[in-house]
Amino acid sequence: MKTNILTNNSSWLSELALPNLTKDEIKTIEQASVRLTFKKSETILKQGGQSTHIAYLVQGIVKFNFENELGRNLILTVVSAPKILGGANLLYQHNNLFSIIAIEICEVILVESPVIVDLLKQNAHFSFTTLQLTSEMYKKTILNFVSLAFKHKEGRIADIMIYLAENVYHNNKFQLSLTRKELAEFAGCSSENLIMTLSRWNKEHIIHNNGKAFEIVDPDKLKLISRNC
């Protein structure tokens, strides 16, 4: 993990679409912020750790990972920059409910939670915009849980492939950052079931994949599987 000290650079706040901050409020946030570089597999926020910061993902892709008492992992969601991370810490100020882990090199700005909470109380526009951004991300997590609860494995795998193409890589062709094991954890199935399903879809020309390279060849067929399975 590499640290870079912020020096009066508020461009990331502009990218965050927060035009309602005053100059003094921007200065307050920057003084409570640090920019970090995380390598693949490094933990940005740790499950069970003290909830002291929220994070803004400037560059890269991360996974939200929950580990149960038996040591089994479930990937709640995967997001790409730019995104607010750890927004739940603004309202739930105890321990982190899940881990946020880099799945490729990530640039992250960590901001002390109490500073953001104080600004949320003082600036209604800032509060609304911040909560709107975090709510949109968590909505996708909830929809993934709905998929896990009501769909068979093929429907769940179809859902996550569509999600990755549309919301993470923004292209039907992409280099997958997740391992097959992580992909299975995201879909809530075994690695064996995932590999067999992807292999069959490859033969049926629904998805082509070669190692980490993926292409959704027939998105309509994949969406049909998502709806019907």
Q: Are 187 and 145 in contact (CB under 8 A)?
A: no
CA torsion sign for 5, 7, 8, 12 is: negative
- Residue 200 inside a domain? The answer is yes
- Residue 199 has a pLDDT of 95
Q: What percent of the chain has pLDDT over 70?
A: 83
- Residue 101 inside a domain? The answer is yes
Higher pLDDT, 103 or 129: 103
Query: CATH number, domain at 21?
Result: 2.60.120.10
Helix axes 180-187, 191-203, angle to 10 degrees: 100
- Residue 54 inside a domain? The answer is yes
Q: Are 224 and 155 in contact (CB under 8 A)?
A: no
Q: Are residues 206 and 96 in the same domain?
A: no
> The pTM is what?
0.84
Indicate the number of domains in the chain: 2
Q: Residue 209: beta bridge partners?
A: 214
Helix axes 23-31, 113-122, angle to 10 degrees: 160
- Residue 146 inside a domain? The answer is no
Q: 14: domain range?
A: 2-140
Q: Are residues 189 and 161 in the same domain?
A: yes
Q: Are 49 and 90 in contact (CB under 8 A)?
A: no
Q: Is the pLDDT of residue 73 over 70?
A: yes
pLDDT tens-digit series, residues 40-61? 999 998 888 877 888 889 999 9
Q: Are residues 102 and 36 in the same domain?
A: yes
- Residue 65 inside a domain? The answer is yes
Q: Are residues 109 and 181 in the same domain?
A: no
- Residue 145 inside a domain? The answer is no
Q: Are residues 156 and 224 in the same domain?
A: yes
User: Among 140, 163, 191, which residue terminates a domain?
Assistant: 140
- DSSP conformational letter for 36: E
User: Among 140, 172, 189, which residue terminates a domain?
Assistant: 140
Residues in CB range of 19: below 8 A, 6 or more apart: none
CA distance 165 to 38: 23
Q: Are 62 and 111 in contact (CB under 8 A)?
A: no
Q: Are residues 83 and 39 in the same domain?
A: yes
pLDDT tens-digit series, residues 119-175? 888 888 877 777 777 776 677 667 767 767 778 889 999 999 999 999 999 999 999
Q: Are residues 17 and 112 in the same domain?
A: yes
- Residue 8 has a pLDDT of 44
- Residue 168 inside a domain? The answer is yes
- Residue 25 inside a domain? The answer is yes
CA distance 111 to 136: 20
Query: CATH number, domain at 156?
Result: 1.10.10.10
Q: Are residues 8 and 103 in the same domain?
A: yes
Q: Are residues 117 and 16 in the same domain?
A: yes
User: Among 120, 140, 160, which residue terminates a domain?
Assistant: 140
CA distance 204 to 159: 18
> What is the mean predicted confidence (pLDDT) over 12-38?
78
Return the biggest CA–CA distance within the chain: 59
- DSSP conformational letter for 103: S
Q: Are residues 136 and 188 in the same domain?
A: no
> What is the mean predicted confidence (pLDDT) over 1-14?
52
Q: Are residues 193 and 132 in the same domain?
A: no
Residues in CB range of 187: below 8 A, 6 or more apart: 153, 156, 157, 159, 160, 194
CA distance 137 to 45: 17
Q: Are residues 110 and 185 in the same domain?
A: no
CA distance 95 to 45: 10
Residues in CB range of 169: below 8 A, 6 or more apart: 80
